Chains A and B, each alone.
Chain A
Amino acid sequence: MNLIAARYHVVHETTYSYESPVSLSRQHLHLTPRDCPWQSCLAHQISIDPEPTHSRSRPDCFGNPVRQFDIEAPHSRLTVCAESTIEVRPHLPMGLDGQAETGFQSDWLAASPSWEEVSSMLAYGAAPVRLEANRFLFESPYVRVKREFSAYARPSFTPLRPLLCAVQDLMRRIHDEFEFDPAATTVATPVLKILEDKHGVCQDFAHLMLACLRSLGLAARYVSGYLLTHPPPGQPRLVGADASHAWISVYCPSAEGGGWVDFDPTNNLLPDTQHITLAWGRDFGDVSPLRGVILGGDAHELDVAVTVTPLENGVWQSSG
């Protein structure tokens, strides 16, 4: 059976304008899409202005490609432009578009093991030790593990409920109960405050959902990526396009492709071919698109523009 793979051209341009010259700038970029079983990066380049003094690429500790560079000459402006051509193949069970609550999808979600069972597989003493999942089980700088989060999640995590059904329900509640408001938060807003104030942006919702899942003893990671800027005719434009987007991935040992299933609480759907994965980590801090330290500069203005354009559809041969 043939399923349609999607191809995209992504341009992610970041410009810093500094009030006074920056004498030394060191930057780490998470702007190169990682390859996954369902995604290939076909072409990629990063252009940097001014020309870096030194530059290198390497994988980080989560397997994401990192480009790092430094500029030792004084400059008042820094532009980083990443261009990528990416193919994303369908990876949800056949026939699902991720948005409609079809019976098939519900069956698939319902077939997952209970959340208690998954949590006990991750507890210390369980064999075998699931190393990769364990890396995403604990607190990290932007994600707290606290009673407040497990209490919020609890209504979705009823006894013996299949893990993926419970996670989907948690996602739906976050989507319904929290308001998308770019003015309400910054990267420094603590996740507990998000829970109290009930608004934020995609990163905040992802962090909140991670805090809920990890507070229940479940493993979940932060995914950064992109959404299509202009959706195909007849389909709604998703929230979070025109910027980098963020969602989460939960560990479910029964799932194919390494045991992780993505959920997008900002849009209340299971990502498939409309989501382009850039990188994953414990939270935003591990995969911030540009992380740097500068000397000088005083105040700065930041301008970020993301454009995702669909290319002609590729065709993917399903083995099923």
Chain B
Amino acid sequence: MPRSLLSMYQRKTDRFDEMIAANGEVRPSWQSFFDHLNAATPEQMRHRLSYVRQRILENGVTYNVYADPEGTDRPWELDPLPLILSAGEWHEISSAITQRARLLNAVLGDLYGAQTLIKDGTLPPALVYGHNGFLWPCQGITPPGDSWLHLYAADLARSPDGRWWVIADRTQAPSGAGYALENRIIVSRVFPEQFRDLGVQHLADFFRALQDNLAHLAPHENEPPLIVLLTPGPYNETYFEHAYLARYLGYPLVEGQDLTVRGDCVYLRTLTGLRRVHAILRRLDDDYCDPLELRGDSALGVPGLLQAVRAGKVLVANALGSGLLESAALPGFLPGACEKLLGETLAMPSVGTWWCGEPAALEFAIENLDQLVIKGSFPSQRMDPIFGSELVGASREELIARLRARPQAYVAQELVDFSQAPAWSTKHDRRLLPRGVALRVYVAATPAGYVVMPGGLTRVTAATNARYISMQRGGSSKDTWVLSEQAVSTFSLLKKLVGKTDLIRSGSNLSSRVVENLYWFGRYAERCDDAARILRVGLSRLVDAGADAIPALISALDLCRSLKLLPEADSKAGVKAIEASSAEQRSELEALLLDAICDSEWEDSIAGNIRRLLWVGTQVRERFSLDNWHALNRLQLQLQRYSKVRPEISDALAFLDQMLLASSSLAGFAMDNMTRDDGWRFLIIGRRLERLIFLSDAISQFLRLDSTRAAGSIEWLLELTDSIITYRSRYMAQPELLPAIDLIVFDDANPHAVIFQLQNLIRYLTRLTRALDDTQDDVLRPALARLQSFDLGLLEGLDFSQCRNCDPCLELANALNGISLASATLSDRLAMRYFTHIGDVGRQTLTA
């Protein structure tokens, strides 16, 4: 029997330990889980840890860190051991927090209405009228069902005596519920037997209740309600969660520019036109939601949204203006407000809070600075907490001067010693580490009142003594297991309140913006791929440039130039008359090709195209796997290094291979793993259309150029179109024009042939227009007919090495150009018809 895990668990005895009671014994609610852990082998635990890591990577659970210069997503941190709470303990928390939700909802109703709490002196006016979060134009608006708060979260901590305290209220747009859900899905699979045997309460009903209530209260006027999740966009730190929740709840994920207000109603711009939106679950801060009436500098909002709310045509959750309650000063006044508004005693205390706007509180704060932490009264101050005990000398005097000069702006708070819970060490084989924990609990409004999610997001400090809990600063998280006394579903009654018209609409309400970004993602991905292919042809011939490879090198470079894939270099004139044996000219050519790859200044370089690819990809980040994403990021990082130090040719060739690999795995992912909705169709259409344009232009130019008559050219053309293997398997001889053209233009069984691309594209377009109930654009069909009418027999017996601008070559080249032109026209028409115009953001105007 190995040593007990407890022998190495170095808990601090001046804190409450969630697992170990004061007498040193394991608490009853933890006993069976602990026994299991204690009996688990190191191999079992290693396996579990790697399962957690793997799931997080595969599911792409990330957390964006603003400060990260690379702007890359950081994987979410999750400790496999849950925080376990007994049913009795949970009951106490749950009833206290539902009371608090009722109270805060009533406070919002009062402050945006009669303001009796201010009139009777319960709340200082400064905390309302002096708070940026008080949205003046929202006064007098009553939300549907008097429900300001639909989703509320409270941060709780436990003091050494075992009591829970509220340390912060999240009323704006609480984050983390989606992470809690993801934690649950992972951890319940790490410990499936324990999860089942302990009767851990499930989370799904909570989200169902939230959804039902939104559908129930949304002013949907007998239409099925359309509910959307409004995000500030991919640069937000919790964007993963927005995308995750949107998917989980079945709501379209939208940004401000996807929505528009017409008259008093809100609409979503979709592929098929405007669709009325009845409710908005927002993750965008309320002051950014409407540049017309709220912050005029917001480019993220929806102009006119507030009027739609005022007219009662849309439900916004949480109500606009609810950020008002996110003030560090407010908790001190809640006991009074609770008596006044609910006639009840506040059940769970807030951490000791003194608002310095009261002269006595200010003096108290200054006298007891060592035991207190000073915070800004309002979130807009963006002030980091200052620990009084850490200040000496001048900095202490300076803080006191600041407090005295503008006391209203500061709050003094008691220091909270977090309770500790065991975390599994990732460094040792079998060890529990004591870590500070705080619990974020979530409350949802339902027609039957507020309900608490039985569980929550447990946040873990990075070290035992840490005083902050912040995912931004390297903290971790845990699943939270609430044990049940008996299985009781509290939601059985609720369902009856949801009528037929409340049913949640499924299916795709893809915004035009998402579709446009996917389309361009397809085009840029293919553009990178094409450029990599042709530059590889050039580079590889430069590497082993025996004298006989030189004519082929020259023709390949000619084609690159005519397709505008090489920078307009000074040496332009020089290349024609190249004597590539001259070392000087070789290095000139080499530089030219490397520029075409790495020169980020030059728009059409591969670096430029990768940058654009990443940009549009970021806008629809949630549709790709983390693997895809990392592969693209690696390419860009590599290019950034190359832009400083030019690579060797062999490295550049390896890079191009790597790029083609990433591109083909991206294409494979799109074919195998993406849902085939309209967005997917546009991605594939973008990709096919780009390839069609490239192929037709490349082959057409090939036929027109003089230099391609040189030996070795047809061979690289086959290589460029990825058809060399097929060719060799059919014809054992040196490549000739007629069979080559047949293979890469007319063979509809060759996936790299022009005609294959063209027919495929027409097929996708037909399916798309059928899905969208739209009329088909027939711009491609005449181009196809013209190509099909070309008589291949004309090329029979033609000596390509001798012909110059002969009729058959020109006729075929023109037909191919026709295809390229028709494709470009098609692209414009798709844009006109289906896309919003990204970047067309509303601008504020003011007159003096």
Contact = CB atoms under 8 A, between A and B. Distances in A.
Interface stretch (A132-140, A169-177, A258-266): A132-140
A72 B267 CA distance: 14
Contact of A294 (B264, B842, B848): B842
B848 A187 contact: yes
Contacts of B119: 129, 131
B129 interface: yes
Given A68-B307, A293-B843, A295-B840, A243 B126 contact: no
B133 to A, nearest CB: 13
Nearest to A14: B847
Given A61-B136, A61-B140, A124-B124, A295 B842 contact: yes
A203 interface: yes
B304 interface: yes
Interface stretch (B192-200, B291-299, B343-351): B291-299
B139 interface: yes
Contact of B843 (A127, A139, A282, A297): A297
Contacts of B126: 124, 137-138
A300 B303 CA distance: 19
Interface string B388-416: 00000000000000000110100000000
A193 interface: no
B732 interface: no
Contacts of A284: 848
A147 B845 contact: no
A293 B845 contact: yes
A297 to B, nearest CB: 7
Contacts of A16: 845
Nearest to B139: A61
A124 B130 CA distance: 12
Contacts of B588: none
What band does the interface of chain B fall in when counting residues whose beta carbon is under 8 Å from A? 35 or more
A291 interface: yes
Interface string A176-187: 000000000001
A291 B118 contact: no
A295 B261 CA distance: 12
Interface string A271-314: 00000000000101110111111111100101010000000000
B848 A243 contact: yes
Contacts of A68: 307
Given A24-B260, A293-B292, A203 B129 contact: no
Contacts of B405: 147
Contact of A244 (B408, B842, B848): B848
B263 A145 contact: no
A145 B140 contact: no
Nearest to A286: B136
A60 interface: yes
A291 B842 contact: no
B120 interface: yes
A243 B847 CA distance: 11
Contacts of A14: 847
B845 A292 contact: yes
A93 B748 CA distance: 96
Contacts of A293: 291-292, 296, 303-304, 842-845
A35 interface: no
Given A61-B137, A134-B118, A293-B304, 10 more contacts: A68-B307, A70-B304, A124-B126, A127-B121, A134-B129, A137-B130, A139-B130, A288-B847, A289-B848, A295-B840
Interface of A: 14, 16, 24, 26, 28, 53-54, 60-61, 68, 70, 72, 124-125, 127, 129, 131, 134-135, 137-139, 145, 147, 187, 201, 203, 243-244, 282, 284-286, 288-297, 300, 302, 304
What 4 pairs across the A-B complex have the smallest Cβ distances?
A: A138-B130, A293-B303, A134-B125, A293-B842
27 contacts: A16-B845, A26-B303, A26-B304, A54-B264, A68-B307, A124-B121, A124-B357, A125-B358, A129-B119, A134-B118, A135-B125, A138-B129, A187-B848, A243-B848, A244-B848, A282-B136, A284-B848, A285-B296, A289-B847, A291-B845, A291-B846, A292-B844, A292-B846, A293-B292, A293-B304, A293-B844, A295-B842
